[in-house]
Structure 1
Amino acid sequence: MNTLPPFPLSPNPSPRRGEGRVLATLLVIALSFLSALLPGVAFALPQNAPVPGGVAVIPLESSAAVPRARWGDRQLAVLQHEGRWVALLGIPLSQTPGPLHIKQDNGKTHTIDVQPKEYTTQRLTIRDQRKVTPNPEDLERIAREKLILDALRTRFSNSQPDPDFSLPAQGPLSSRFGLRRIFNDQPRAPHSGLDISVPEGAAITAASDGTVINTGDYFFNGNSVYLDHGQGLITVYMHLSNIEVYEGQKVKRGERLGAAGATGRATGPHLHWGVILNGSSVDPELFLPPHPLPANKD
């Protein structure tokens, strides 16, 4: 946060009471004017990782007003950091390496060179075969739920996000983001979040300030909470045993959302924590402080 330098002490005698009131009023006006000129609140940024499933941090051209940036038809989050505007691009896991072009509202084009990244394979055994090969009734439910989830993923609100996240559960990591998953010897979609191994009933908390935009019980995700942090930055908390918040509720970083469980498609109690940026699932670890996280020894 920027602070103003101290005013120099006056060598003149103290003013009389009436003059003091006038000077105090002028000082308040001056400080208000100067604070309006100072840059806005500076937020910590996610790690810059221009790879499939990563985040590109893009410096923008200087602008007095908040600039806008787009990738195709997707509007990007724009934050102020150390006196500069930056855009955050969530890169889809399916993105082919190569150049991406970001357009700023002033006509400037920014090119991002997406680098290749290989994700390892994970094999899991699911006891409930319906969670691997759903029956026709399940498929109808999944299709209905997909319409809801797709709308949540593409939500864009104008509130200012703070992307400096806290880990929403206390436990070792059991599965990292991007793993190519094979359930019961059948290939399935890559892992779209970070799995944290915690016991049944463990506290699950908000990674940052946000608004609850959805709670529900989904076929694959189980009991889930979706938080909107602003400008297309969404977090999701899956497989909960119970939900303790409601849609429309404002929550603070560290506020309890519910308890860990094994609902939906899960091999045991854990939290699946997902981060969505401009409609793309991205690696949650990029939004955490840069220190190593413990992993299961299994």
Structure 2
Amino acid sequence: MSHTYLSNRILFILLILSSSVIHALPEQALVPGGIALLKLTNYEQDTEVYFKNKRIAVFPYENTWVAMAGIGLSTQPGDYEFSIRRADGLSLNTKVTVKHKKYDEQHLTIKNKRKVNPNKDDTKRIAAESKRKKKAKRLYSEGSPNVDFIWPVTGRISSIFGLRRFFNEQERRPHNGLDIAAKEGTPIKATADGIVVDSGDFFFSGNMIYLDHGQGIISLYAHMSKITVKPGDVVRQGDIIGEVGQTGRVTGPHLHFAIIANQTLIDPVFMLPKGGNTYADTTEKK
């Protein structure tokens, strides 16, 4: 890790520590792809909280602390525990119940057949990129994140989170973010204060950026036509980080926007303000 990155990491921590207080919590949704919230009354700032053996974000809210856990899309209905580890060594557990949620299907036609069935060279590239994605996804950095997120772009939501996806009638992984259709070249904003941890051209995702917002909360922006930031850059909420495009596996210009919490991809709508974008039929092409 470079000296410049470490210096910027310290700058970012100071920046978010001086940010305004959180005005609204993310929406709790105890379903696969959702969010579980836990208020920590009478706890100290350095209390650590874990969910499914992964450390989760803890941030101040209205004179108390709140822990936020992302619930994975593959999570089965049932009871799960928050593990609370206090600074004095005392450990406590509290239960949360995850309910079933059924996600719809989406069928898309991809003209570039290699984006559905990659060749041998493509597969090698995808494997190398997968390691980069996992590294970004597993990042946990200190600093209290501001979870008052904003929409990164205004447009038509053409694909919602969690859809079972079929490309050229072949089933692939479920959709792990929101697709916001907009004109190519539309500016993309940082959803919150953060630091760029990775960026580049990826086989499926095209031009993509990962922003670290602190404590395992990461935002992802894909299929961009242009990236205007680089790894190590510190950005403020609303800063322009690139432009909408149609790079990677796409059927048209749009922004694929995703949020990671405790190494888990969650539905971004639970972190975003209501309104601002219109929804399209989720079965249509982008």
TM-score with structure 2 length normalisation?
A: 0.87
Alignment RMSD, CA only? 1.4
On the 8 A contact 1:194/1:274 being kept in 2, the answer is yes
Q: How do residues 148-297 of structure 1 correspond to structure 2 at under 5 angstroms?
A: 148-291=132-275, 293-296=277-280
Alpha-carbon offset, residue 80 of structure 1 = 1.5
On the 8 A contact 1:43/1:162 being kept in 2, the answer is no
- Where 1:145 maps in the other structure, the secondary structure is helix
Tell me, yes or no, if structure 1 residue 53 matches structure 2 residue 37. Answer: no
Q: Which protein has the larger Cα radius of gyration, Structure 1 or Structure 2? A: 1
CA 1:198–1:293: 2 relative to 1, 3 Å:
closer
Selected match of 1:76 from 23, 32, 56: 56
On the 8 A contact 1:44/1:162 being kept in 2, the answer is no
On the 8 A contact 1:43/1:80 being kept in 2, the answer is no
Selected match of 2:24 from 44, 49, 58: 44
Selected match of 2:115 from 131, 141, 145: 131
- Where 2:91 maps in the other structure, the secondary structure is coil
CA 1:66–1:41: 2 relative to 1, 3 Å:
farther
For residue 10 of structure 1, what is the aligned residue in structure 2?
none
On the 8 A contact 2:155/2:181 being kept in 1, the answer is yes
In structure 2, how many angstroms separate the alpha carbons of the residues matched to 1:61 and 1:67? 11
Unaligned runs of 5+ in 1: 1-39
Q: Which fold has the larger relative contact order, with Cα–Cα distance below 8 Å and residues 6 or more apart in sequence?
A: 2
Q: Which amino acid aligns with 2:78?
A: G
Alpha-carbon offset, residue 45 of structure 1 = 1.5
CA 1:64–1:281: 2 relative to 1, 3 Å:
closer
Q: How do residues 1-80 of structure 1 correspond to structure 2 at under 5 angstroms?
A: 41-80=21-60
Q: Which amino acid aligns with 2:132?
A: I
For residue 14 of structure 2, what is the aligned residue in structure 1?
none
More strand by share: 2
Q: Could you give the per-residue CA deviations for residues 93-131 of structure 1, whole angstroms, max 9, x where no partner exists?
A: 000010111100031101110011111100000000000
In structure 2, how many angstroms separate the alpha carbons of the residues matched to 1:291 and 1:171? 11
Alpha-carbon offset, residue 292 of structure 1 = 7.0
In structure 2, how many angstroms separate the alpha carbons of the residues matched to 1:130 and 1:191? 19
CA 1:162–1:179: 2 relative to 1, 3 Å:
same
- Where 1:86 maps in the other structure, the secondary structure is strand
Identity %: 42
In structure 2, how many angstroms separate the alpha carbons of the residues matched to 1:80 and 1:131? 43
Alpha-carbon offset, residue 61 of structure 1 = 4.4
Tell me, yes or no, if structure 1 residue 85 matches structure 2 residue 65. Answer: yes
Q: Which amino acid aligns with 2:273?
A: P
TM-score with structure 1 length normalisation?
A: 0.84
